[in-house]
Chains A and B, each alone.
Chain A
Amino acid sequence: MSAPSPEPLQRTPLHALHVALGAKMVPFAGYEMPVQYPAGIIAEHNHTRSQAGLFDVSHMGQVRIRGKKAAADFERLVPGDIQSLGAFRTRYTQFTNESGGILDDLMATRWGEDLFVVVNAACKAADIEHMKRGLDGRAAVEPLEDRALLALQGPAAATVLSRFAPSCATQKFMSMAELKLDGVPCFVTRSGYTGEDGFELSVPAAAAEKLARRLLAEPEVKPIGLGARDSLRLEAGLCLYGHDIDATTTPVEADLVWSIGKRRRQEGGFPGADVIRCQLDHGTTRLRVGILPEGRAPAREQTEIIDPSGRRIGTVTSGGFGPTVGGPIAMGYVEVASAKDGAPLALVVRGTPRPAKVAPLPFVPQRYYRG
């Protein structure tokens, strides 16, 4: 708590606002970020599910891919179908390596001829190098370093944002619009990481605090930290890079097959395509599943998963307490034979096997806007 950090942490444009709001700041992916505000993680989680929460996700990487054939070129790096994206439509995909492992997961939006890409904070420097190398001059990789990223998430998010820009009310899920919010030119994407309806707002850094304060002045909106962001995404069954997915897990093992374009499965043309094609045809040995522990004890990341006979069959990759579920929840990889809803498991917590079962994801129904 009092030990000085060895390396100076970066700050987002909203740092002063977090401190003014009484946030508990922690190091995360090289940034000083709010893990919670005085309300606490459970109250923040519940507020996002019932009203609207404002998150600072400015630590994430925003990148413009500029080129005449940016979508086609970008497909050299990802298994997602990027060429079929309509104007301003957004898609979830991953950067893969030659073994089909995931280097990062990301959102890509068709932005005229170009793409607008959002990547994870911890990976962004490596991602930028990876894109430059992989695109090899075909398309330019332009990090948008002077922009903050806010997320407004929850059932009241559209009501709130439409006070600033009426078109937000009917903006399609997984689409972007260039809009002025309180006079500030923003890229507004209807997407998020909570399972709720919501928006991500790319804002010029210099205007970020003013816009954040305007949003927080709306009666439905409260600031939400990274702690609740994690419990919200876990309940929504969404992967956290570096935990649920990494360079050793493929999109097939991670149960992300839905994000691989049909055309891409046939044509390949992305790193690890052969491995992924083979796994699609013949299956994998392990799969990511949801896990519901019986009882109240949370099972944390790295918890050993055993079958009823005591044989080790996998590992928990994310685990904690789900405030909306009202109990412990987890995700992890298990052998395919046990990857069926309701399959009995045990989780070895502090040396004691505790009963659990495979549960369908998400734990809490997603409530995305479907128009």
Chain B
Amino acid sequence: MLRFTNEHEWIRVETDGAATVGITSYAQEQLGDVVYVELPALGKEVTKGGDAAVVESVKAASEVYAPVDGKVVAVNDKLSGEPSLVNSSPMGDGWFFRLQLSDKSQLDALMDEAAYKKFCEGQH
């Protein structure tokens, strides 16, 4: 299951039940070249809408929010050496962290792919 927030994060529930989080292609395009990503500590409890990571482009730093409540069970260490993966593969190798979900029903409030696409078109 793949869902999107109106802050341009994506969250995908994997087969093991944990959920991978990253930023969308639209978000990385708006940011431009990503030069640094600050990831949460393993084990950190994050809350829906709360700060979870920071992504920095040449121009500015932006917060990445937790799409839902959960505990950080993995982070993408590759981003420290190769932050440009966020630009080249935002929904693949450019993922940020994985969450063990506290309440799966929170996903229901997020957008599916079609709704998110429509949302982005409204941003122009």
Contact = CB atoms under 8 A, between A and B. Distances in A.
* Real binding pair: yes
A205 to B, nearest CB: 29
A158 B56 CA distance: 35
Contacts of A300: 60-61
A18 B33 CA distance: 20
Contact of A35 (B54, B59, B122): B59
B54 A227 contact: no
B15 interface: no
A9 B63 CA distance: 29
Given A227-B58, A296-B80, A298-B56, A41 B33 contact: yes
Size class of A's contact patch? 20 to 34
B33 A42 contact: yes
A321 interface: yes
Nearest to B122: A2
Interface string B2-44: 0000000000000000000000000000101101101000000
A62 interface: no
A87 interface: no
B118 interface: no
Interface in B48-70: 54, 56-61
A296 B77 CA distance: 13
A4 B13 CA distance: 37
Contacts of B58: 41-42, 45, 227, 231, 320-321, 323
Given A298-B56, A321-B56, A323-B58, A2 B123 contact: yes
A40 B36 contact: no
Nearest to A41: B58
Size class of B's contact patch? 10 to 19
Interface centre among A36, A231, A297 (most CB of B within 10 A): A297
Given A1-B124, A230-B59, A296-B80, 9 more contacts: A2-B123, A40-B33, A41-B33, A296-B36, A296-B83, A298-B35, A320-B58, A320-B59, A321-B36
Contacts of B38: 297, 350
26 contacts: A1-B30, A1-B123, A1-B124, A2-B124, A24-B32, A40-B33, A41-B33, A42-B35, A42-B58, A45-B58, A227-B32, A227-B58, A227-B59, A230-B59, A231-B58, A296-B35, A297-B36, A297-B38, A297-B56, A298-B35, A300-B60, A320-B58, A321-B36, A321-B58, A328-B35, A350-B38
Interface centre among B30, B59, B124 (most CB of A within 10 A): B59
Contacts of B35: 42, 296, 298, 321, 328
B64 to A, nearest CB: 13
Interface of B: 30, 32-33, 35-36, 38, 54, 56-61, 80, 83, 122-124
B61 A41 contact: no
Contacts of A45: 58
A41 B123 contact: no
A296 B60 CA distance: 14
B123 A350 contact: no
A237 B38 CA distance: 27
B39 to A, nearest CB: 12
B5 to A, nearest CB: 16
Interface centre among B38, B54, B58, B83 (most CB of A within 10 A): B58
A40 B54 contact: no
B124 A36 contact: no
Contacts of B122: 2
B8 to A, nearest CB: 11
Interface string A320-353: 1101000010000000000000000000001000
B90 to A, nearest CB: 14
Given A41-B58, A320-B58, A36 B32 contact: yes
Contact of B32 (A41, A230, A298, A328): A41
A41 B59 contact: yes
Nearest to A2: B123
Contacts of B59: 35, 41, 227, 230, 320
Interface in A21-64: 24, 35-36, 40-42, 45
A252 B80 CA distance: 39
Nearest to A228: B58
Contacts of B33: 40-42
